Amino acid sequence: MMKLSRRKLFKLGLLGGVAGTSSLAYGNLIERHQLTLEKVEVPLKLEHSTLAGLRIAMVSDFHFDELQEGALIARCVEKINAQQPDLIILCGDYVSHDHEPVEPLAQHLAKLTAPLGVFAVLGNHDHWAGASQVTRQLTRAGIQVLRNQAETLTYRHSPFQLAGLGSVWVGDAHLKTALPLLSKKSLPAILAVHEPDFFDRINQDPRIALQLSGHTHGGQVCAPFYGAMRLPSWGKNYISGLYRRHHSHIYVTRGVGTLFPHVRFCCPPEISLLTLTAPV
């Protein structure tokens, strides 16, 4: 085994410290602002084929009270509207600790537009910061908050259900309230819930074509060839991207905001455009 002198050890330690500092600076100043548009096709099962062609824009995890970066949110809104989606879904965590900054955030989100509407669900941080206050500001901005509720929408003359749940983490997610087993059982459904690991609890419900979630930030800080360095409760099984299980798919977005430390590494912020495609 090669022995290293104190001088070489010192130099290696110094280089490691410089590399670490550079990575933090890059993650904070550069990658955290590299807003990406992920375009994803979601293949449908035959029983959900009436949804083929539906284009859904989704975005999540703003955590606006952390840094209050209005310019980033304005770019996000502009990019989403430019895609002209049929439906827009916001998947929670608008703030982290303080509900008051949701008001300026909602002023930006009020500019979102889609023919079938703009809908939202709450995340665990929204509940902790003040679910009623967050809901009130989003509603004032023309965004319909679904909290264990479902709306029947129509796409190309075919009805479907959009269901939204409360936060799983805080115990406020009740699928049977939003989609009673005997209610409109033949309609395909899209389910929005902040925490992705709820996907393991939908009990193979054949009505649910797609679950949309955020929460994980994609890991926020990821190591090459390894992946996410840290993941939250209810966000360990489905981290980022598209997954399939039985009748359904789930898509997990990396979100646009950050929690401390405000760094993204190998995990840029994301807005997502999902196109549902006919079965082959």
pLDDT in tens, 116-155: 999 999 999 999 999 999 999 999 999 999 999 999 999 9
Is 1 part of any domain?
A: no
Residue 3 included in any domain: no
Q: Is 150 helix (H, G, I), strand (E, B) or coil?
A: strand
In a domain, 4, yes or no: no
3-class secondary structure, 208:
strand
| Three-state secondary structure call for residue 188 | coil
Count of the separate structural domains present in the chain? 1
Mean pLDDT, the chain, as a whole number? Answer: 91
User: Around 233, how many Cα atoms within 13 Å sit in the side-chain half-sphere?
Assistant: 8
Q: What is the pLDDT of residue 203?
A: 75
Residues 53-90 have pLDDT tens digits of 999 999 999 999 999 999 999 999 999 999 999 999 99
CATH code at position 225: 3.60.21.10
Residues 6+ positions from 116 with CB-CB distance below 8 Å? 86, 87, 153, 155
The residue segments making up the domain with residue 142 are 12-277
Is residue 16 over pLDDT 80?
no
- Residue 76 domain-assigned (yes or no): yes
CA R_g for the chain: 20
Quick one: which of 164, 85, 166, 155 has its CA closest to 124? 166
Task: For residues 13-34, give the mean pLDDT.
Answer: 61
- Please report the pLDDT score of residue 272 as a whole number: 98
pTM (two decimals): 0.90
Whether residue 2 lies inside any domain: the answer is no
